[in-house]
Amino acid sequence: MLFQIFDAFKSRLHDSNSKVNQVALETMHKMIPLLKDSLSPVINMLIPAMVDNNLNSKNPGIYAAATNVIQALCQHLDNYLLLQPFCTKAQFLNGKAKQDMTEKLA
């Protein structure tokens, strides 16, 4: 059930409509403290959707929402769950997103 919900939700995290994208990120930010480590089965699917275009977005609202989501993940999930997906993203991203992910890893 969790996979079905987040599989549908992840496309909203990189929607071409910036307002939809931003609301999805803000919603994800609200869900993380509620779901915490129960997100572990879908975290490898969600992190790329949250990070890929959003941390390099020129839209300040989307960038802020994406950084808030990353911060919430770091606060509410076991760091062990985040290590591999964050390393992978830091390795393959560029620009500001690479810097942000590298700082979170440090």
pLDDT at residue 82 above 90?
yes
pTM score: 0.92
pLDDT at residue 76 above 90?
yes
Average pLDDT rounded to a whole number, residues 54-75: 96
pLDDT of residue 52: 87
pLDDT of residue 34: 96
Environment class of 83 (CB within 10 Å of its CB; exposed 0-12, middle 13-18, buried 19+): exposed
Residue 55 main-chain phi, psi, to 5 deg: -75, -15
